Chains A and B, each alone.
Chain A
């Protein structure tokens, strides 16, 4: 993947007219090339809408009722009930916001680490480069899921910032390597060389010359990092290692599984609802990242 999307940086030596033309063409292209992507965006925003606006329309409580456990969908409970008679639809609507917030924070964190250190390592080279690469290789090799599982046993992940932080610190290596590789190639371009020869401060070279040319690439990887963070987070819930209160799709799967809901004839909707939400969320993000790649990387487009 990394190798495939490296050629996204376009030389910015064109005038402003050319930039405007490019932007117009880009927008047209964006819609034209984005039939799949549009579906992706639609699903993604639908899920975001359900997760953040939906809870406003919910009643205060979701009472347990042992007389109606594992019910199939009825008018009272559109998605049926769980092992304690709670309404499944309520939990589905309520269970996405934390997941999305934590994933966004984690993806932002890992993207920041990757971009800042990848760009610095590529630009400055030398000892910094060597040590950053070494650390990257180490983190890349360690099986992250197992490390996450083991760490969560020792560290109580009872606040979302800590959770996001833990997720972020294992997710950056792939992007960092790619950013570094791209900075190395951008470094050779005339405009970056010119900026360096003019003795412009590193900050300028980094933020004004190098990073803008990598934006598409960074955006795509942010989306991919989101899918990674969602996956890792759902796993932690599924393993029962996140002692956070409240409804959550990952927690719903964990509870359904540990309570043996699989073996009840009428529990199928209860089981599938959170899985469906997670899969749809992941699928929409994959679709978005693929169309972004398609738009930004002309090589994939040519037939």
Chain B
């Protein structure tokens, strides 16, 4: 769609005198560079923040851990500090600033320390085993709800004032009012425990026992079967937001002069809806998509434990309950980094779709 219509919508932009090379270069130095810088700064900010949270607050987990080892198991301070060092990947004897640089260096090499509560496992191993499931379920749900929300939102805008519009607006309002974890609990209470329509206990986990990770239809089917409940909850609790956003965005686009002009030229209404209205109405929603990524990934912290889905959310939930600080810190950093990367991807996609952004007009 983008390829076919890019010239129609962005007519003022296709200036032959601007060569592709300068365009790409301008894009790289402006938009892309700014986004990359932003991503790097975000990750830097978050890592620094978490370091000071872990190290500087009174009763920091490192000190608590050392004290615990000394009082509970009778280790000497040096022994306890040694253990803490390997667990947290932090050397407590060094000055704070050096510790900070060590910590950054370790992170750069992917050393996130060891889990306290699962001895002998590195934080990185745990994350690597869990993160793909979350990316799979959250990604599927986001794409589904974004697309359906956009379609329904356009219907609402075209039929505004009608019965369909009121009904859909009502549904959308409810969808955006129900907190996602309450939605998940309600789903279980009603459809699984009361009505027994959903074999909830059977659907727990990420895969059925005995199912290997492999390239086969059975594997994919099983993965979807187990991810179905989390995906349903993410979908139902985010679609309302997209519907309402798309509705007002479409109404805005419907009033643009190029729509009137298109109609006057006798262009088929479906073409106008798709390429004139739809395309322009979706653009502002892409900025929202970048926010939604962080929001839904955050939601996995609440949703996954409810369905015992073995993704990063369940792991983080466990780490919070068990106060497994290195794991907590590692998961937080990796999840934030993933969200930042996802954001970057959404931004790049956005800039492909809307040339105004690349030239700096849109900001």
What string of 1s and 0s marks CB contacts (under 8 Å) between A268-287 and chain B?
Answer: 10011001001100110111
- For the complex, is B132 an interface residue (Cβ under 8 Å from A)? no
Contact of B302 among A151, A238, A287 (CB under 8 A): A238
Assembly CA distance A142 to B90 (angstroms) = 24
Known A-B contacts A149-B320, A299-B255; A137 and B248 likewise in contact (beta carbons under 8 Å): no
Docked-complex contact B251 and A286, CB < 8 angstroms = no
> Across the interface, which residues of B come within 8 angstroms of A154, CB to CB?
53-54, 57, 61
| Bound Cα distance A227, B240 (Å) | 15
Q: Report the count of interface residues on A (CB-CB < 8 A).
A: 52
Instruction: Let me know if A143 is at the binding interface, CB within 8 A.
Output: yes
Q: A3-B284, A143-B294, A146-B297 are in contact. Are A262 and B189 (CB under 8 A)?
A: yes
Q: Is the CB–CB distance between B249 and A143 below 8 Å?
A: no
Contact check, A147 vs B245: say whether CB atoms are below 8 A apart: no
User: Does B221 touch A at the CB level, under 8 Å?
Assistant: no
A146-B41 in contact (CB<8A): no
Whether A137 and B179, one on each chain, are in contact in the complex, defined by CB atoms closer than 8 angstroms, is no
**Contact, CB under 8 Å: B185 / A262:** yes
A257's partner among B46, B185, B288 (CB-CB below 8 A) is B185
Determine the chain A residues whose CB is within 8 A of the CB of B54 once the complex forms. Answer: 154
Q: Confirm or deny: A138 has a beta carbon within 8 angstroms of a beta carbon on chain B.
A: yes
Is A153 among interface residues, defined by CB-CB distance under 8 A? yes
Q: Is the CB of B185 within 8 A of A275?
A: yes
CB–CB A238/B57 < 8 A:
no
Question: Does B174 sit at the interface, judged by CB under 8 A?
Answer: yes
Interface 1/0s, chain B 223-264, versus A by CB < 8 A?
Answer: 000000000000000000000110011011001000000000
Q: For chain A residues 229-285, which have a beta carbon within 8 Å of chain B?
A: 231, 234-235, 238-241, 253, 257, 262-263, 268, 271-272, 275, 278-279, 282-283, 285
Residues of B within 8 A of A239 (CB): 301-302, 317, 320
In the complex the two chains form, what is the Cα distance from A285 to B320 in whole Å? Answer: 31
Pair A299/B178 contact, Cβ less than 8 Å: no
Report the bound CA distance from A118 to B193 in whole Å: 49
Contact across chains for A155 and B57 when beta carbons are under 8 A apart: yes
A290, B173: Cβ atoms under 8 Å? yes
- Determine if B96 is an interface residue (Cβ-Cβ < 8 Å): no
Verify if A5 is at the interface (C-beta below 8 Å from B).
yes
Please state if B189 and A271 are interface contacts (CB–CB under 8 Å): yes
Interface centre among A227, A240, A268, A282 (most CB of B within 10 A): A282
- Interface assignment of B188: CB less than 8 Å from any CB of chain A: yes
A234-B179 in contact given A134-B38, A286-B173, A303-B161 (Cβ < 8 Å): yes
15 CB < 8 A contacts A-B:
A1-B245, A3-B249, A4-B249, A143-B336, A145-B299, A146-B335, A149-B320, A150-B328, A150-B329, A151-B53, A154-B53, A234-B179, A253-B185, A279-B182, A290-B173
Q: Lowest 10 A-B CB distances belong to which pairs?
A: A145-B298, A4-B248, A282-B177, A283-B177, A143-B294, A143-B298, A3-B284, A303-B161, A138-B42, A150-B332
